[in-house]
Structures are given as C-alpha cells and as structure tokens.
Structure 1
C-alpha cells in the first residue's frame, strides 16, 4: 500500500510526475490482480458499508413532508427501478475488468478527454454529499456536545482526513468492522417503535404532507408529485460510481466462484439502492412520527439526529439516548465521508492529470474536495437541500444513463461500440461525440426544463427528460457516426493476450521503459519510441498519461 513507484529518468521526455503515485489507489489505471487479494464478500461488505449515510433519512423526510407519503413511496420506487436498470451493466464492467467508472466512461462513448466532463459531475456529487453528511454530523455534535455548528463542520471535515490517506486497505477494514454496530443501532430503535406504537403505521400511510407552518397540505398522489420526489432521490444515481470504486477490486471471475462473484456484484453494485430506498422510507416514517407526537416536530422532522434521539428516548434515559444518537451520527458520517473524500480525490486527480499531464498526488485533491465541502457546509446547504439535489439529479442521470445505454445497446445490441473497455491514451480519440454530445444535450435540456424554460407544468419532469434523451441519443449518434470515434487504434502493439482463459484481465507483466517498474498487461502499450538497440519497448498507461511530449503515443491506425 505504501510502496511507491521507483523514480527513474523518463525516456524521451516522458513526464515523471506520474511515478509519484502510491500504488494502492490506482488513481489513473486498472486495478491489478496482484493487489486484489480480497474475497468477493469482503469487497461487497466494504462497498455496502459506504451507504451507511444518513442523508437518505433526510431525503425521505423532505420529499414526504413536501408531497405526502403516497407520492414519496411511488417516487422512491421509481428511483430504485432506474438505479437497478442502470447499475447492473456498470457494476458488471467494473468488477469484470477492474476499472473505475471514469475509465469505463472513456471507452463507452466519451473518449480520452471527453470523460473529463463526467468526472466533474462525479466530483460534484462527492463534495455535495460530503457536505450533507458533514452537516448532519455537525447537528449531532451541536445537540449532544453543544459544539457550535461552524466548529462542527470543521471537525466533521478533518476527522476523515487520516483515514482517506491509506485508501482501499484502510477503508475495507473500517467498513467491515463498523457495519454490525451500525446495523444494530439503526434497526433496533425502529423495531421498538413499531412494536410500541403500532398506530404510527396508519399515521404514516395517511400522511399528506405539511407546509412551512406545519399545516396539512392535503396533497394527493399525482404524476407531478411522484416526479418531484423521484427527482430528489435520483440525485443519488451517481452513488454507483462510489460502489464501483470498491467493486473494481473484485477477484477474477472463474467457473468455481461464479455464483458468489455475481452475488457480490449485484448486492454491492445496484443492490445498494434497496438499502437506500428502505432508509428513505424509514426517514419519512420517523419524520411523520415526530410531526404527530412531538411539539414543534415539523421543524426538526427532517434531521436524522433528532429522529433517532427521540426514538432512543422511547427506550432509555435521555443521557444514554443522546450518547447513542451522537455515536450513530458520527459512525454513519465517517463511514460514508471517507468514501466521498476518497472517490472525489480519484475523480479530481483523473481530470487534472489528463488535462495538464502532471500528477500532483491524490492527497492534494483530497484536500481540495474537503475544502469545497466545508465551504458548502458553512453556507448552510442543508437549508436548500431539496432544490440542490433536484438540480444535480439532471446532470447525474444524464451521465449514468448515457454510459449504461452505450454498454447495453451500443456494445451488446448494435455491436457498434467495442465490447471490451478501453481507457489508455493513444488507443482512444480525444473526444467521442456519441457520449459527449449525448450527455451535454440531455443534461442541458433537462436543466432548462427544471428552471421552467418550457413552462412550469413540465418542470417536475426534468429527470425524465434527462433519462429519455440519455437513452435515445447514444444509439442515434453511434449509428450516425458509424462508430468511427470509439477507437483510434485496435492494436496496442503487444503480442501477449489481454485476457486469460476465463476472460479476466491477464496478470502477465511487462517492464515500463519510463519507470523501470513492471506492470500487468492491461496497463501497458507499446511505445512509439524504440529502445536504443532498435527493439520494441513498452510504457505503462500511468507514465503515458504524463507524457507531455507525446513521443511515446502510438500513431493513429488507418
């Protein structure tokens, strides 16, 4: 984990900045088999540990308070269906080929530089939800320990920094060991509440929402209400990218482990939404309970720390309830925000290195992501949460649906997009209009709808606009361009096979001529610069990403 690439003189001016990268995070490249020593069960548990966040409780409460239980439940159901449909192909590709979602995106219609725009979408997701979780933790510290909110925001930001530094190995241990405690503290109070107050279920089902003054809205179920609820929930669609940051470390798929492998991928990939949907429903249930049974409950009903504090107080003395509520909030915040900070650093580093061909180190962007999140917290983003998430959903949906459509339709149904993912510089065109244009149009049109440019009546349906355009445009553009811009080259100049007998990325190793370090076959390409004796030499995708001269980049195939 802490071993670093050996620094050697770069060949023919190739940038040596990439050689600073710590091997454990594999920021810019495929995760090699030599590092992937975890079982599928450990990877899945680690991935699911990252969804311990409390934002779902707040999201469920907010949409239900605004639109009633009926609209909220239908909206959550629609959200879950979209997540499962788009998440399956993405999770499979990540686990099968050991790539993060940015590397998958590059070869799924965007090109080597084209996916930078989606990286920025993902980076935004990580700091928005880091800020949301940090705000919830600050509320817990304020309530339990009287820590001022601005100080709480700073504490919730700094507490994750030491854990994020060590990457997957530290994150896996943290998630595995804290998950059982988190489950007990989360599920226990709910079971007690249902047993002690069975009438709360009928109150929940009959709830029609309340306004800012706590008066009933009386809103019935409608398509507009459902879509407004689904739109907020669908802001979480980019969560699959964080799941993939774990799934890329899955072991090779073999005939012997096929069932276990698929179970882990489905549960930890798109399966996260089943847990998320349940948490949203529980968040709304607790909010309704507070509104019905606590004085001024409407003012605190969307705050998870109050939801659990009051539920704990049903079971135990106030001092113990307060202690457990704070512990739950802190554990939940740490479990998700180490993932937010880690994944955000990967996204920023990927973009910066490709654009500048300089690798400053992943930890630089850990700090960048944390600073942005802290600014959002200090700006009290919690007060305009639903509006922010509804806006962001348009961008997230456009990205995820475009990539999923390219995999399912363009790769497997039409056969236009290459089935095996490609991410290496020189093998891809700079920009592929299939994905790049699709995401710009889908996101742009849906944002215009969201802001009422086409009338207030269809504004709630902006997520649907994003999803429909993101499904239709990639096949249309792929056919129109005849797949011309997917691959710049089909031959990477290496005679060794890319995959083993089971279709897994090969673990054969080759020596990088720039770093003097051996990398596994999927990370390597032939260099355009021959060795001093005229023989062929190879370069890693990592070193090639920082080759400012471009001398090592193979010419386009004609």
Structure 2
C-alpha cells in the first residue's frame, strides 16, 4: 500500500487525479482558468447535433429544443460549478458528498466516463471526415490518427491543457465565426430559408418534436463535468477578486451552454444552406467539415478553402479531445482506485478511454448519432440533476445534506441511498420511456421523465432517510480550521505519515492507529482499513 501511495504522490503527471486541488498548485488567474475551460467546448459536435435535429424535425422545433436544453443546463450547472470553484474539487468528489457516498458515486463516474468516450469518438469521426476530404486519408486510418495524436498532450494535465486552449482559441474563433458572418451578409435570403425549413418530418412546431430535439441536445449535460475539471483550479475567492471570480465561474461553468447553443443553431443554418444551394447537399449537410468547406469556397480559392477547413477541424478536434481524454482518465482512475484500492496511474486509463473511443469510431457511430445521444441524455440528466438538486434543495433548503462537501474515505458512508436511488430510478425509467416501453405517446418525453424523477426523488429520499447516510463522521480528528477567513479551503500544510508527502488541510485526516496525519490518497489505497477513523 505504501508503495502504491508513494507512486501516486510522486508521479508529476497525475494532476491531482484523485483529490483536492491545493492552493499551492492553483497559480492561474480567473481569466486563464475560464478561457481554458471554454477552450474545451471548441468541438464541432454541436454543429452536427444542430444539423441532425433540424433535418429531422425542422428549424422551429430545433430552435425551441435548443432553448429547453440551454435552460436546463444553466439551472443544473450553476450549483455544481460553484461548488467546484469554491472548494476546488471535481464533480466526482462533489458527487460523493452530495447524495451518493464514497462507493456509490462510482456509478456516476462510469456515466461520465461513457460521456467522454462517446464524444471523443464523435469528434474523432468528424476529424477523420476532414482528413479524408482534404488529404485523401481513409476513414479507418483517420480514426486512428485522431486518437493517437492527443496522447502526448493529455498526459501532462492542466499545465499543458491551459497553454493549448489559450493559444489556439483566437484562431479557432476566426475560422468558425468568419464563414457564418460572410454567409449572412452576402446572402441575407438564406436567413428566411433557414427559418422556413420544415425538415424531414414536414410538420409544424409541436411539443413532442421539441422534446425529442431537446433530448438529443441534453446528451451534452455531462459537459459540465469537463468544465469543472478546469474550474477546480480557480484561485481563492477574496473581496479583491470577487467580481472576476464570479464572472469566470458563471461564464466557464453553466455559461458554456450559451456558446454550445449558438454553435448548434449555426450548424443547422449551414446545413439548411447546403440542402438549398448545393447539389447533393443533403447527403453531407450534417458533416461540419463539408458545412465550412462550402462556405469557404464562396470566399476564397479552392486550395485555400480546403486548407482552412482541414485546419479548423483539426484544431477543434484537438481542443476538445484532449479534454475528453483527460477527464475520462480521471473518471476511470477514480473508480478503479476506490473499488480495488490499487492505483495503476492515470496514463493507463487515458489509453483505455482512447481504445473504447476508437472502437466506436470504427463501428461508424456517426451514422446513428441521434439514437446514441438520445439514449445517453437520460443517464446524464439523471446524474447531474440529482447532484444539483441535492446541493440546491437538500443542502440549502431542507438542510439535510451538509453544506460543506466531503470526499474523504472514512468520513462518508460507503453508499448513500439518496443519490443512488434517484439516479437508478430516474435514469432507468427514462431509458425505458425512450425505447417505447410505456407506449409511443410518452416516448418523446423521456428527458422530462428523467428530470422530474430526479427532482422529486432526491429530496424525497433525503427526507425518508432523515439525511443520516451523508456523513459517517463529522470530526476528522484535526484541530486546525478547514477554511480561511474568506471561506476558502485552508492552505495550511500537514505531512502524511504514510507517503511522507505534504498536503493541505482539506486533503488529510487523523490516522486511526497512529498519532499522525494521513492523506486522502493513502486512505483510498488502504486495503485493510488501518487508517480509517471509526464511525461516530
């Protein structure tokens, strides 16, 4: 156990995989953290999603569906983004103390890891399409290239990712916004064509179609977990930086959906333009590389248009897939270490996540995109809505859940039925609804079912259990205060007697068998429970 803990603490590339992000590491400004977090949403999947739902159900239904999606993301994203930035922990650590327990949150880690490889595969597919179109590279080889090229970047964690996102964002913005602005200015009639487009369904705006559109878009609800993987590195909130701190949290947390919704609308706009103006445009209207290539062709010579289209696709894919690979590796590592109490290193799970994504790409997941995303949306909503409801209602309204998040083994119960029951029931029932198990009349409303069940079950379970399964202990045996005068996690440093490394106050507890301190990582890898304090 000591060797494994020593390995985990000394690996410089681990980027605080399993634990609290200490103040000594968080040297970035609020602006750098926000730009880095928003750089991760440079993906082109939004363009494909917007095009797909619009082609299926028409512009009116798609726009309303995107609006529903944005509203749900804003409401659920704010509580978890605030907790991540304020207490410097990722969504898995938040989930542990927000209704799931130490082992119970493994369920949600698997849900999140699934999100990362699904969207890695989606972005990799889009990049392979660009490489095939621009360079003649076969799709199967393009899939492999898009997978392997992120490995050198992602292993270096936040330091490398922050530089990558900040440096590439200006060029990405110019390449993405330029074609859309040119099209609207040079062909204003295209706006009217876009608004009148009725899609394959040929019908008008109706609630069922709106919810089907929203369901596909809401597959992105787990994106907040990737935003949080950056937000946990926010600097301490003080009276001097309070305004900047809040702006960064709101913009880079739930605010990501503003940019996501705009990209979905632009993707549909470009798809409708291709269908209306390009021969055989309908065949490629949902492929972002073709969307941008056709507009570039109107603006510049063919060779330059092709070059810029490929550059845009490659930059977008790298910006998001380093985040997908990074966040997915965190989720898998967290789950594996808790279940087995062994720590193999995060790089192992970078490779695992990429292998799964590559298999999905080779299986041509792009051709049945709506079904995959609609199915996943039910699981993602069940998880995020449950955590957000626990924070907003159980912590602040009912006061049955402790306000200060807890993530350390020994301080939490193994399983808390509040979150586990809510996710299993809301996710399971909504998936049955999605596949028509309760009849075709309710099938489009599976997102509503997932949200409503999670909203009701989370506080209901807290009331039924009287909140007694949140904390196994309230005292970690250390007399030093957990927070400073501004309410930020304390920067006081203590030494773990197992791995001999220094950790900040929120990341340690008193050892049960020694008159000493033990860190959360050594608690995680303690196979016999020698260090765990008894239940209070």
Q: Where on the TM-score scale, by shorter chain, does this alignment land: which range?
A: over 0.9
Quote how far apart the aligned CAs of 1:219 are. Answer: 1.4
Q: Which sections of structure 2, spanning at least 5 residues, go unmatched? A: none
Task: Find the partner of 1:433 among 390, 406, 417.
Answer: 417
In the TM superposition, 1:283-432 aligns within 5 A as: 283-432=267-416
Counterpart of 1:3? none
Name the CA distance, whole Å, in 2 between partners of 1:23 and 1:310: 42
In the TM superposition, 1:146-295 aligns within 5 A as: 146-210=136-200, 217-295=201-279
Tell me if the contact between 2:30 and 2:248 (Cα under 8 Å) persists in the aligned partners: yes
Counterpart of 1:105? 95
Corresponding residue SS for 2:58: helix
Counterpart of 1:540? 519
Corresponding residue SS for 2:282: helix
Counterpart of 2:462? 478
Correspondence 1:43 to 2:33: yes
Quote how far apart the aligned CAs of 1:22 are. Answer: 3.2
Name the CA distance, whole Å, in 2 between partners of 1:347 and 1:99: 13
Change in CA separation of 1:342 and 1:104 when aligned onto 2, cut-off 3 Å? same
Tell me if the contact between 1:118 and 1:399 (Cα under 8 Å) persists in the aligned partners: yes
The root-mean-square deviation of aligned C-alpha atoms, in Å, is 1.0
Change in CA separation of 1:394 and 1:467 when aligned onto 2, cut-off 3 Å? same
Counterpart of 1:31? 21
Name the CA distance, whole Å, in 2 between partners of 1:498 and 1:334: 38
Q: Which stretch of structure 1 is more off in the superposition, 144-153 or 189-198? A: 189-198
Quote how far apart the aligned CAs of 1:218 are. Answer: 1.8
Name the CA distance, whole Å, in 1 between partners of 2:250 and 2:356: 32
Name the CA distance, whole Å, in 1 between partners of 2:488 and 2:169: 30
Change in CA separation of 1:431 and 1:163 when aligned onto 2, cut-off 3 Å? same
In the TM superposition, 1:125-164 aligns within 5 A as: 125-164=115-154
Quote how far apart the aligned CAs of 1:339 are. Answer: 0.1
Counterpart of 2:479? 495
Counterpart of 1:516? 500
Counterpart of 2:490? 506
Task: Find the partner of 1:467 among 451, 469, 478.
Answer: 451
Name the CA distance, whole Å, in 1 between partners of 2:224 and 2:151: 23
In the TM superposition, 1:449-468 aligns within 5 A as: 449-468=433-452
Hey, which bits of structure 1, 4+ residues long, moved more than 3 A? 13-24
Tell me if the contact between 1:18 and 1:358 (Cα under 8 Å) persists in the aligned partners: no
Q: Give deviations 1:10-53, integer Å, cap 9, x for gaps.
A: 3xx99655445436511110000000000000000000000000
Matched pairs, number: 536
Quote how far apart the aligned CAs of 1:549 are. Answer: 1.1
Q: Which sections of structure 1, spanning at least 5 residues, go unmatched? A: 1-8, 211-216, 531-535
Quote how far apart the aligned CAs of 1:386 are. Answer: 0.4
Tell me if the contact between 1:429 and 1:488 (Cα under 8 Å) persists in the aligned partners: yes
Quote how far apart the aligned CAs of 1:529 are. Answer: 1.2
Q: Which stretch of structure 1 is more off in the superposition, 14-23 or 38-47? A: 14-23
Tell me if the contact between 1:57 and 1:304 (Cα under 8 Å) persists in the aligned partners: yes
Q: Give deviations 1:55-106, integer Å, cap 9, x for gaps.
A: 0000000000000000000000000000000000010000000000000000
Tell me if the contact between 1:29 and 1:523 (Cα under 8 Å) persists in the aligned partners: yes
Tell me if the contact between 2:103 and 2:415 (Cα under 8 Å) persists in the aligned partners: yes
Corresponding residue SS for 1:80: helix
Change in CA separation of 1:49 and 1:15 when aligned onto 2, cut-off 3 Å? closer
Tell me if the contact between 1:122 and 1:347 (Cα under 8 Å) persists in the aligned partners: yes
Tell me if the contact between 1:20 and 1:359 (Cα under 8 Å) persists in the aligned partners: no
Tell me if the contact between 2:33 and 2:234 (Cα under 8 Å) persists in the aligned partners: yes
Name the CA distance, whole Å, in 1 between partners of 2:120 and 2:389: 28
Q: Give deviations 1:413-465, integer Å, cap 9, x for gaps.
A: 01000000000000000000000110000000000101111101110100100
Name the CA distance, whole Å, in 2 between partners of 1:14 and 1:492: 23
Corresponding residue SS for 1:457: coil
Tell me if the contact between 2:13 and 2:155 (Cα under 8 Å) persists in the aligned partners: no
Name the CA distance, whole Å, in 2 between partners of 1:437 and 1:21: 37
Tell me if the contact between 1:140 and 1:326 (Cα under 8 Å) persists in the aligned partners: yes
Counterpart of 1:444? 428
Corresponding residue SS for 2:299: coil
Name the CA distance, whole Å, in 2 between partners of 1:381 and 1:57: 16
Tell me if the contact between 2:14 and 2:346 (Cα under 8 Å) persists in the aligned partners: no
Task: Find the partner of 2:85 among 78, 95, 98.
Answer: 95
Q: Which stretch of structure 1 is more off in the superposition, 13-22 or 449-458? A: 13-22
